[in-house]
Amino acid sequence: MDLYEHQARQLFAEHGIAVPRAEVVDSAATAQRAARRLGGRVVVKAQVRTGGRGKAGGVKMAADPAAAALTARQMLGMDIRGHTVRTVMLAEPVDIEAEFYVSYVLDRASGAFLAIASAEGGMEIEEVAATRPDAVTRVPVDPAEGVTDDKARQIAEAAGLPAEAAPVLSRLWQVLTREDALLVEVNPLVRTVDGRILALDGKVTLDDNALFRQSRWGTDGRDPHGDPLEAEAAAKGLNYVKLDGEVGIIGNGAGLVMSTLDVVAGCGGRPANFLDIGGGASARVMADGLSLILSDPDVKSVLVNVFGGITACDAVADGIVQALETVRVTKPLVVRLDGNNAPRGRAILDARAHPLVHQAATMDGAARRAARLADAA
């Protein structure tokens, strides 16, 4: 479960990471009063569980309480990547001297955690990572050892961060391990002109398996899934998780889907989701899965990776063909069938000859093709 930014900042503060003063409001009137308490000039930030707020107009500076009220009124109710803004956070502005990026994320491939840090933080960190990967440092962290003070200094030095950022790295690790998180991120972590190190923004993703220990966050009476596509999938009984990529993934079996995510990433693609349709890949389930993924505006191509077992590949192919009759396919679909009755399943798809459906014999080949199609879109 992704926390809202103000919730992530609350966790940071509880673990000794300094954050600017801020208040969360749900109306223009309360925004005006909060701005007065915060000194008048404030940053107004839409609270949604997704990225891209700045480019969507969800982060703005307000010069005074009246401007804060007007900005809050404009933001409340707006749609940001499918998320409706219901609250905004007003934060005290700071004079920034330098911006950095720090995070810990679970690296499923190695069974460990990865510290990611850069001396170049801010909105364009993804572009920095893509165009100048040497500017982003990745340091494996042994879960048994954790991030000691020495390890924190090592990460900071490797990334070119100031020495005073090392304690933040230690405390951020405490957030990860003590709060059942799979991802903790500060972007940007800043040094102010008066020498303070502050977390200006934060992202925390909690492990769904540990939510029984994290009940204090609740759901604010709203969507417990945090993403409208996840809510739609849950209503249809689909096992779906939204990710930040362009290649939609459908597979039968959690292990196969996880492997597919890794192979797509290894081919240079970015998975857009995890979707396990289970063993019963019926036409209805396939149609629901395709409809869901194709409705994601971030998806540029779709990879269906199925290993026929109890449900044979020809039955899966029949399901895909029937789904093609009910779902308007507008993006290329790469299908890899293997296992029970795979040749017959491939023949069924060949006979259908849909112009946007491509077949691949291997998982690596399917992943490469899906990644190329997404990149070319």
So which residues are the catalytic ones? Answer: 101, 185
Tell me 138's DSSP state. E
C-alpha distances out from residue 196 to 13, 91, 96, Å? 14, 16, 9
Check: CB of residue 118 under 8 Å from CB of residue 101.
Answer: yes
Q: DSSP class of residue 133?
A: G
List the structure tokens of 41.
């000039």
Question: 3-class SS at 62?
Answer: strand
What's the Rg (C-alpha) of the chain?
Answer: 23
What are 63's two structure tokens?
């010069």
Residue type, 189: L
Cα distance from N-terminal residue to C-terminal residue, the chain: 30
Q: DSSP letter string over 207-257? A: -GGGGGG-GGG--TTS-TTSSHHHHHHHHTT-EEEE-SSSEEEEESSHHHH
Owner of token pair 């790295």: 169
Would you give the DSSP letter of residue 4?
P
Q: For strands 202-206 and 42-46, give the pairing.
A: unpaired
Enumerate residues 6+ apart whose C-beta is below 8 A from 201: 5, 45, 186, 187, 188
Q: Do residues 44 and 75 touch, judged by C-beta distance below 8 A?
A: yes
Q: Which residues partner with 35 through β-bridges?
A: none
Three-state secondary structure along 139-197? EEECCCCCCCHHHHHHHHHHHCCCHHHHHHHHHHHHHHHHCCEEEEEEEEEEEECCCCE
Do the Cβ atoms of 104 and 15 come closer than 8 Å?
A: no
